[in-house]
Each structure stands twice: as structure tokens, then as C-alpha cells.
Structure 1
């Protein structure tokens, strides 16, 4: 069984959190948060952020009954859950995720925060808002190390109003709308829908999940996972990464 707080906060669904010597810290909602374990989550904002009111127990049991791979994944990461992140942060984060790794995405995320965000406490910066980034050029983003993603970021910031439409759209419509932004394809759109809008029908297919589907679920599609494919995806994604990298 793994430290599920670490797998949630440092496992690729968010880049807001930093693992410090004795806690995890993040600047969210205009405040610096520091937590060591789930029992530290008492504030209403964090309860919602960590989706503590959702019945994960029932969904886990339903998924465990499907096959041995999900059973193993869920038993390895029993407290894994989907964070409810701010849509704009999720959009920018997952544009940065393209052809990138967690360590480097986090580095760029922190650079953007320090250069364009607001200092909340000494050394702790909020992630910049769309208005704080609206005048940032492709060249400015390049200086942050965003590479080919720079022009995608500029287009996304110019079209930020799209995010306001998403809650009113069906999953398919929302995905298509997000993909009207330059550089957002099916995988990134699904990540934005899942982590920024808590659309649990999303099923991001990155290289890890393609490997899972081709190796363990050949001939099956997302419908196999029932009503909450996003949760199956997160368990399997964490499981295969742990299995292949350790």
C-alpha cells in the first residue's frame, strides 16, 4: 500500500503541490495550505478540493469486482481520489503536460507562479490568473521553458471564456469545444474535463494508459469500466506507472 496523499498530490493530476520536509504545501484560493495527512483536511475549501463527500468506497468495490488488475490497483492505492481543481489551472497545467514529465511540468508551473502570480507568503506564489497572463507573449513563455507549447498557451489564454461554457455542455460537446483551442487534443481535453470540471466520464489516454489498454484490456473500450471510467483510469494509471518505474 502506497502513501496515497503523495500519489494524489505528486502523481500527475495536479502540479500545485510541493513535497516539503514535513508536509505538502500549495497556494490555492489565495492561501498557503500545508497538510501532512488526510486528517489535516478540515477546511471546507479543501474538503471540496479533495472531494471528500463523494462515495469512493462504493465505486472502488464496483471496480474491484471487474478484474484482477483493477483489484490490485485499488488495493495498492486505496485512498486515491480525483481532485477538484480550478479549470484555468487545469487547462494550463495539461497544455504544459504534452510530451513532458511530472518533474519538468512542476518546474515550469512554479516558474510561471513566481514570475506572474501573486506572492501570498514569502516564497509562496499563487498560480497566475488569465488576466495576469493576458499580455504574456510567445517569447515570454519561451523564456519560462514552455517550448512548442508557448503558442498553445497564448491561444488558450485568449480563449479563456470557453471555460465558462463547459459546465453547460454535454461531455462530447465540452471536449469538442476545448479542442477548438490550438494544441488541445483528445487527451489534454479529457484531462481538463476530469481535473478541472470533475467530469467522471472522461478517460484520458496518455502513453501509460495506452499501454494498459493494449496489454490488459485488448478489445475493450471505456464502456467496460461502467459509470465512472475516470476513477478506473486514475487507479490503473497510478498502478502501471508504479509497476513500470520501480
Structure 2
């Protein structure tokens, strides 16, 4: 099926650092594995994307995943016409970026893995983890074999050696202990959906290997807490060099996380 949207550019989404299982396959074509499913997408033009799924599957799974109902047009317009010169450029460059609504456990584990790793290295590690501990499936529409993201049960049963062989390094115990915490009910991921942003971050930081940056990433990409504003080395550089540590996050309340994504995507292009 084809969807039309003013702010849906696959290249920008795939390279935005929020999702590690969305990859370019050729030219303007991409694949994504999420929610236990496989999807191919092709950018036909700036406002049109061709998807390999049916309209029914799109409405049931992918519409929410790609957050198609959210008004990104209004945010891009307000930033491009605003007084902040850096955000004018960032929003203009990054338009088409969307905050994906990803599965919470997957986001939690992948961002624990992401610490002190480049995006290509994270992708390799996540794919290795899926091939070792996920479920192998075949997509009916494209006849493509793929692996689902491992369940808490599978990762909780994995030994440290097997996790380390997947490229986790020192993060192996963090991943195993967090998976165990989810499996045993020490943390109820579903209940996090009912919490406010600050409460959710506080709960997430009780987990091994989850500091303030990872907790904010999980809040933004897994809980869709749009006020979350993760600060990594790139954002920290912007806050210091561009804003002299005077950037007012509160001025963008209700969509600060989207602003952060435009900042991140733009600074990495320079």
C-alpha cells in the first residue's frame, strides 16, 4: 500500500539513532523488523512511501509504530519560522523524522547495549543477539527470513558467555539482569505506561545499566514520552558550543524529544 505524509522520510528515520533494526536495502528501499514482523518500505517521493503490507496490517500494526497520526507539520513549521537559528536549520534538515513507537523491552535492552558504541556497532550487536536468541520467521509478503527480538525469558536464561559472544562486552550482565527483572516481575513494564515522564525515568534507573541518558531514551522511544530529552555526546556538544549551556528545554514542553531528534540528526551531518 502507499501512504502520503508530509513528514515521512525513510532516510532520516533510519539514520536518526532511535531504531537499530531499520536498514537501507538498496537505493530508496528500507526494511524494518518490529513487533515480531518484517516490513519493506520504498520512498517514492518526499510525500509518498510504498509499504509491503496490506492496508489492514498497516492499520493494525504499522500506523501506530510510525506515529502517523501525530502533527509533525506544525512542529517543523514553528521551528523553521522561529527565532532560534540553529533549530531553524535542524528542523529544515531533519523534517521527515518521526519518533517511532517501539516495543518497550526491545528499546530497554538495545539502549543498554548502545552505551559507548557507534550506531553500526550497535546494529551488528543487536542483530547477533536476535539471531542467537530470537525466533526465526519468514515474511509471507516478501519470502524473507528474519529473527524476532528475544523475549525476556530467552535473555534471562542466556549465560554471560553466550551474551558476550554476541558482542555485548561488559554490558552482558546488565542485559541478563534486566531481562531477569522483567521476567520475574521485579519491574512491570506495562505499568510504566501509566506513569508520568519523571516517574517513569526514576523507575527505569533502578535497573542495572540504566543511567539518566538510557532512561530518557527508553522514555522517549519506548514510552513515547515526548518531553524526554536524552543528552548524549552529540547533544551535550550542542548545548555547550551552540547554546553555552543556556538552552531552555522547557520552552519546547510537549515536544522537546522531537526537537532533540532534529538537533541530533543535524549535528551528526555537519
TM-score range, shorter chain: over 0.9
Which of 179, 192, 206 in structure 2 is aligned with 1:157?
Answer: 179
Shift of 1:126: 1.0
Could you tell me whether the CA contact under 8 Å between 1:63 and 1:225 is conserved in 2? no
Shift in Å, 1:66: 4.1
Of Structure 1 and Structure 2, the greater helix share is in: 1
Distance in 1 between the 2:239 and 2:36 partners? 39
Does residue 1:8 correspond to 2:8, yes or no?
no
Partner of 2:35: 29
Runs (5+) with no aligned partner, structure 2: 1-7, 139-143
Assess if the C-alpha contact under 8 Å between 2:155 and 2:175 holds in 1.
Answer: no
Give me the whole-angstrom Cα distance separating, in 1, the residues matched to 2:170 and 2:160. Answer: 9
Q: 2:50 aligns with which of 40, 56, 64?
A: 40
Select which of 188, 205, 213 maps to 1:187.
213
**2:141 is the counterpart of 1:131:** no
Taking the TM superposition and a 5 Å limit, the aligned residue runs for 1:46-195 are: 46-64=62-80, 65-121=82-138, 123-160=145-182, 161=185, 162=187, 163-195=189-221
3-state DSSP of counterpart to 1:124:
strand
- In the alignment, is residue 203 of structure 1 matched against residue 208 of structure 2? no
Q: Which 5+ residue runs of structure 1 have no aligned equivalent?
A: none
Poorly superposed stretches of 4+, deviation over 4 Å: none
Normalising by the residue count of structure 1, what TM-score does the alignment of the two structures yield?
A: 0.92
> Comparing both structures, which one devotes a greater share of its residues to strand?
2
User: 1:227 matched to which residue of 2?
Assistant: 254
CA RMSD of aligned residues (A): 1.6
- Looking at structure 2, the residues matched to 11 and 51 of structure 1 have their Cα atoms a distance apart, in angstroms, of 15
Task: Select between 171-180 and 56-65 the one with higher mean Cα deviation.
Answer: 56-65
**Matches of 2:151 and 2:15 in 1, distance apart?**
22
Name the SS for the 1:91 alignment partner: helix
SS at match of 1:20: strand
In 1, are the aligned partners of 2:153 and 2:180 still within 8 Å (CA)?
no
